[in-house]
Structure 1
Amino acid sequence: MARRALILVEGHPRGNGLLYVKAAQRLGLHPITLSADPARYDYLAAERTEAIRVDTDNLDALIQECSRLGATYDIAGITSAWDPVYATVGKLCEHFSLPGPNAASVERCCDKFAQRQLLAEAGIPMPAYRLATNAMDVESSAAEIGLPVILKPAEGSGSVGVRLCRNVDELAEHTAYLLGEQRISESPPRILVEEFAQGPYYYADIMGDEVIGIYAGEFGPQPRFVLREFTLPALLTDEEHESIADVSLSCLRALSLGWGPACIEFRWTKLGPVVIEVNPRLAGAPGPQLVQLTYGLDLVTEHIKLVIGDEWNLRRRQSQIAAARILVPDRDGNLDWIDGDSQAAAVPGVAEVKFYVEPKTPIVRKGDVRDCIGHVIAASPSFAETKAILQRAVELIDWSITPFQP
């Protein structure tokens, strides 16, 4: 009998990629990663898992490779932990008659302007927005909405290219940056200009049509949006929780989602929950780790079960407060050293300490998720205790960065 394989299209160097590989192995599956550059995922070599170089932007090339693998393996399912290829995954699943996301729905959702239009048609609360293709469009859109505004690319994730523009100078500067970045690609530039929705930040983790949990998040200093800490579950009243859950499910209906995982970002404004973005995939690490600590629920494993046609189990088995602190440098330069991980990990209640970088790595901050150099996760029965544990552990971690020489 042929060995059952799980095909992973691309991975994630700092996120959920390793979690998917390990979960597949625990389920008795042989994970095979298809990637344009397998070397970018260190964990593939560390886990001695199979990886094949293939152009993951080329659907025909992926179909050909999966067909070739199908001659040797019983392909149980195809999925990914990486946003940009998730629509392609849907197309592959359809081609091979395997369970998977609806590719057209994912593509519409990943186009932030199309997503906004569909949510608006459904009457879902969200910030005012405009689509711009040049500097004049940006300027007039910002004038209509009123400063401050958020400027961001119409496609992308991880807060890449997202900035709060508080005045006309910041607006002009970031517009020039985004237009310069867009000119590298063949597609015309598309920029979203959005009202700055102010209020506490939350996001909801969803599997199918069930809201699994709602996190509270805190960002670093503006004008960028780099998450520094998040906590599960968020301290919400029953009414607030129900309101976010109801809007979340309305988003899925409006976008024709509802198969597998999704995560939805909110700001709680004076009008209640306002939708910032809907992501048609599992929240990035360390989100799944927090869910497992809080509820005893392994979302990566349950997602894979869905992918291979098995029955999943979303029953919560425990109740704790879990929190993660993201480690972010405050300057650019060469990382001389980073340590304290073993001491931090020894603090009672700390679940994980992970560094994403090695000493001698050049640090060049981008103002997005790529700035993160590690995380610490803690859990306990109480909110105050979890926060105290997290703070104790973080204080044991230190690093040194030497500025670049001019």
Structure 2
Amino acid sequence: MSTDPTQYDYLAAEGVESVQVDTNDLDAMKSVYSRLKLTHDIAGLTGFSGLDESVYVTVGKLCRHFGLPGPDPASIEKGHDKFVQRQLLAKAGVPIPDYRIATNATEVESAAAEIGLPVVVKPVMGSGSSGVQMCRTVDEVAEHARHLLGGRHISQASPPILVEEFAQGQYITANMMGGLVVGIGTGEFGPPPHFVYREYSFPALLSNDENARIADVSLSCLRALGLGWGPANIEFRWTKRGPVVIEVNPRLAGTPDPELIQLAYGVDLVDEHIKLVIGEKCDLRARHSRTASARFLTPDRDGMLEEIQGASRAAAIPGVTEVKIYVHPNTPFVRKGDYRDVIGHVIVASPTRDQTAALLQQAVDLVSWTITPFRT
């Protein structure tokens, strides 16, 4: 079921049946489901979204209505609002950055002054690092607040902006399924002030004690938000005071986390999620132990992206499991400071961390692109 099935080109390629329906209209979705139920034996119901996480609230409500296994919609809704999420985590004693909520430019600047620069200024709703920026000066805070309040990233009414302490340290992500930690990885970002992903690796290079601390805090997050069912991924920074929770996402992580976890541990998160959805037990035991990494391809300038070369040569290297390019040649490219700055990725897996790193660099070096500056 989709508001616009044509946006998913793989539906036709895979022969997947689709129904066009306004996915923001719960009654319309119930009606479609009831109609399908007359002719199909429906085993379960789930959803996915790269951006609009409110789809998981709808999924939860539909599952409750039709008596199917699924997430608690109230818990998903609470996690969807970053401010409410912060409040619940703080109340439960989960380590989080210092934060303030702001509804106008004056409040944003006051919050930044109270917390101390640098701060991260971001919308209360959203994903993919859209509208998220590190601000190192008072002028940067004021400028980004004006940008967000200008409505380019905010569709909701107040409270629109979260101002929080910049938690400095290694970025760590924990992928959960039904209250169990399946895999812990690390990530790197491109240059500030934005948070555009550069590289992801599984497993994270952590001691047994550090792994245990991440797992412990992750479970505390799920308890605090009432998220006991299904997938979740939790983002951390390992700071001077240990692991600090940046965000809890009550859903499967997007590409490349599931692919990297399958390569590193032999656990297919998508399959295991589907098992839960249809009322079966999932098996999250690791089948093997390897190292898997992904590098994101991000141009460093705006212009006409004329051609991308070397992808097939990179894909032919033993150990390279995927080279994926998201954009077509002769496409205008303008950096946004979020997920839209990424034009592709390379994924590599091998028995050792050093070998994976070397293969990844070798593959990435083969991929190149030509960008011609826009005519002014």
TM-score bin, normalised by smaller chain = over 0.9
1:212 aligns to 2:179 (yes or no): no
From 344, 351, 363, the counterpart of 1:381: 351
Matching residue of 1:122: 92
Deviation at 1:97, TM superposition (A): 0.6
Residue 169 of structure 2 aligns with an amino acid whose one-letter code is: G
What is the rounded CA distance, in whole Å, between the counterparts of 2:259 and 2:292 in structure 1?
A: 9
| In structure 2, C-alpha distance between the alignment counterparts of 1:182 and 1:221, rounded to whole Å | 22
Shift in alpha-carbon separation, 1:186–1:224, aligned structure 2, 3 A: closer
Given candidates 43, 48, 58, the residue that maps to 2:25 is 58
User: Which residue is equivalent to 2:234?
Assistant: 264
The 2-side partners of 1:38 and 1:213 are apart by 32
Structure 2 gap segments, 5+ residues each: none
Provide the secondary structure at the position in 2 that maps to 1:310: coil
For residues 146 and 46 of structure 2, the distance between their equivalents in structure 1, rounded to whole angstroms, comes to: 36
Query: 1:97 matched to which residue of 2?
Result: 67
Identity of aligned residues (%): 64
Q: Which residue of 1 aligns with 2:41?
A: 74
Q: How far off its partner does 1:84 sit?
A: 2.9
Residue 361 and residue 182 in structure 1: after superposition, are their counterparts in 2 closer, same or farther (change >3 A)? closer
Count of matched residue positions in the alignment of Structure 1 and Structure 2: 373
Gaps of 5+ in 1: 1-33
CA distance in 2, matches of 1:352, 1:184: 35
Residue 36 of structure 1 and its aligned partner are, at CA, apart by 1.2
Superposed, 1:186-265 pairs within 5 Å as: 187-188=157-158, 190-265=160-235
Residue 19 of structure 1 corresponds to which residue in structure 2? none
Partners of 2:54 and 2:77 within 8 A in 1: no
Could you say which residue in structure 2 is the equivalent of 1:12?
none
Which amino acid counterpart does residue 64 of structure 1 have in structure 2?
S
TM (norm. structure 2) is: 0.97
Partner of 2:142: 172
Q: Deviations over 1:9-61 (max 9, x none)?
A: xxxxxxxxxxxxxxxxxxxxxxxxx1111122122222221122111111111
SS where residue 200 of structure 2 aligns?
strand
Shift of 1:187: 2.4
Contact 2:131 2:153 in 1 (8 A): no
Distance 2:265 2:207 in 1: 19
User: Per-residue displacement from partner, 1:70-128 (whole Å, max 9, x unpaired)?
Assistant: 11211111111212301110001011110000000000001000000000001111100
Is the 1:263–1:281 contact (alpha carbons within 8 Å) kept by the matching residues of 2? yes
Contact 2:189-2:197 within 8 A present in 1 as well: yes
- Which amino acid is 2:28 matched to? A
Higher mean Cα deviation, 44-53 or 113-122? 44-53
Q: CA RMSD in A?
A: 1.2
1:244-274 Cα shifts (integer Å, max 9, x gaps): 1100000000100020000000000000000
Greater Cα offset, 40-49 or 153-162: 40-49
CA distance in 2, matches of 1:335, 1:294: 33
SS in 2 for 1:70: helix
Distance 1:183 1:98 in 2: 34
Q: Residues 196 and 337 of structure 2 are in contact (CA less than 8 Å); yes or no, is this contact kept in structure 1?
A: yes
Closer, same or farther in 2 for the Cα pair 1:272/1:183, shift >3 Å?
A: closer
Check if 1:48 corresponds to 2:15.
Answer: yes
Aligned equivalents of 2:322, 2:48: Cα separation in 1: 20
Match for residue 298 of structure 2 among 311, 328, 331: 328
8 A contact 1:79–1:89 mirrored in 2 = yes
- Aligned position for 2:328: 358
